[in-house]
């Protein structure tokens, strides 16, 4: 019976790793559309959101099905952790969506003034990589990546503070609307990165025996 | 054996309902401190946060213990839903903390200009009530409150948009820092209310037979 459990858990793990990569891709495209005021690309991110929501619901339903199966020791803990990661992925999808919406709202103007495009691009590069690394950690059930990712999340937090310091400079010449957009965007990236770290921190939280049997390298 | 499960589930449910009320109280006090620039009250909110975090960890550990018990049909589903609500409560606690931090950062000045104190007080009154209603829904395992709360959450969203419309008015005279604070604060209230609704929507998701046996009135 545990073999059935393992099989279903493997499929759930794969689905979550794939979705983690996909929301990372949404954030990447959303950021490109933000950097270039590219409405078509923003629309692509917006159009994908229904699929992300659907996948979250599908994975959640699948997790509840697995919970009803006879499980090895610690197996339920692993499923619940994956369920929590689905909730993180749902938020990450919404955050990428929010970024694309700001691009659409400001189009054809740029939502982000020139001097903030660097910090936002850097935040996005970190956040997209964090999503990729979280995906890998989930896939490999690697419990050791969480701490590493948390350290890198500090770089995102530092950029988040940098955005605020630019916006709050006396000579900010772009008006209140641009300040509001920058505040929200910075918060979206910061939250996205944090969710990715949470996912990675939960990866591999399986009982040692079962884990060594299933770990992929 | 299901009696043991029910007993533990009842204690977990009570703990979550209590914590839901407590984070509502933190938001209420945080908002009073925001309305009056009351540093001592903000410090009280800040000081309580460690306890909220501790309670979240305790409830989460308790949920995992319950998951290992023999469960009636649908019992695990109920525990997992409570676990997800603990994650919501953790975020709600952090959001109340963020509000108190803004009060501390701007003290002795007011973080919120006069014309926005009304909308923020209204958002807080809705959000605190949503937390109270979510607490009651959890306690009573009442699955029918979710939709009602979601409808009331719309009022918070409308106020959220109103804050933005005030901040984005041409004649906003309070500068960028106040705009950034208002943007963040509005977002904190909106997210807090949304988490409360999520908790209420999950309440009472238990198998009908078991539910009717346990429901409190």
- Calpha distance B204→B100 (Å, rounded): 32
- Calpha distance B52→A214 (Å, rounded): 36
Residue-level pLDDT at B217: 36
> Is A176 within 8 Å of B167 when comparing Cβ atoms?
yes
- Calpha distance A22→A216 (Å, rounded): 21
Nearest-Cα residue of chain B relative to residue A164? B180
Enumerate residue ranges in chain B where pLDDT < 70.
Answer: 1, 205-217
The pTM assigned to this predicted structure is: 0.89
Mutate to test the interface with B, among A183, A190, A195 (most CBs of B within 10 A): A183
Residue-level pLDDT at B216: 37
- CA dihedral sign, ordered B6, B10, B13, B19: negative
- Calpha distance B206→B216 (Å, rounded): 14
- Look up the ipTM and state it: 0.85
Q: Chain A within 8 Å of B164 (Cβ-Cβ)?
A: yes
> Is A167 within 8 Å of B183 when comparing Cβ atoms?
no
Lowest mean per-residue pLDDT among A75-79, A206-210, B118-122:
A206-210
> Is A167 within 8 Å of B184 when comparing Cβ atoms?
no
Q: How many CB atoms lie within 10 A of CB B60?
A: 18
Buried-state track B103-127, b at ≥16 Cβ within 10 A, e below 16: beebbeebbbbeebeebbbbbbebb
Q: Chain A within 8 Å of B39 (Cβ-Cβ)?
A: no
Q: Chain A within 8 Å of B69 (Cβ-Cβ)?
A: no
Write the pLDDT tens digit of every residue in A116-131.
Answer: 999 999 999 999 999 9
Among B68, B76, B183, beta carbon nearest to A67: B76
């Amino acid at each position: 019976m545990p073999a059935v459990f393992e099989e279903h858990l493997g499929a759930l793990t794969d689905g979550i790793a794939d979705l983690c990569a996909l929301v990372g891709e949404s954030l990447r495209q959303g950021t490109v559309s933000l950097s270039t005021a590219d409405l078509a690309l923003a629309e692509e991110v917006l159009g994908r959101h229904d699929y992300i929501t659907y996948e979250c619901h599908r994975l959640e339903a699948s997790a509840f099905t697995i919970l009803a199966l006879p499980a090895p020791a610690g197996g339920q803990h692993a499923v619940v952790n994956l369920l929590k990661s689905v909730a993180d992925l749902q938020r990450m999808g919404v955050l990428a969506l929010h970024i694309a919406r700001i691009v659409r709202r400001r189009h054809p103007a740029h939502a982000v003034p020139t001097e903030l495009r660097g910090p936002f691009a850097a935040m996005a590069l970190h956040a997209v990589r964090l999503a990729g690394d979280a995906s890998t950690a989930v896939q490999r059930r690697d419990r050791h990546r969480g701490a590493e990712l948390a350290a890198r999340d500090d770089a995102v937090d530092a950029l988040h503070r940098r955005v605020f310091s630019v916006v709050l400079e006396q000579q900010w010449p772009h008006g209140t609307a641009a300040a509001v957009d920058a505040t929200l965007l910075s918060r979206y990236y910061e939250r996205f990165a944090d969710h990715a770290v949470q996912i990675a921190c939960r990866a591999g939280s399986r009982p040692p025996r079962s884990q060594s049997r299933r770990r992929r390298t």
